[in-house]
Amino acid sequence: MSGFGITCLPTSVCRKALADGWLVRVLPEWTAGSIETTILMPHRRGQLPAVRAVVDFLAERLAG
């Protein structure tokens, strides 16, 4: 990844690359802020199991 430049990534996306030394945080005091994610979906009745699985997966991954 060396030489690819500077980017702004969510920690959840690059946590492992930072821990493994593939990426280096160049401005440790700076943050881009935070975002809020909202999922709108129909009532559980009639909801496809795949939809519930995706929502559960995203909730787990984005929790922190």
Distance CA 3, CA 64 (A): 29
Element (H, E) at 26: none
Decide if 58 contacts 39 (C-beta within 8 A): yes
Which tens digit of pLDDT belongs to each residue from 6-60? 888 888 888 999 999 999 999 989 888 877 778 887 777 878 889 889 888 988 8
* Separation between Cα atoms, residue 64 and residue 50, nearest integer Å: 23
Asked if residue 62 has pLDDT above 80, the reply is no
**Cα–Cα dist 44/41, whole Å:** 8
Token pair in block for residue 26: 């160049």
pLDDT at residue 1, as a whole number: 67
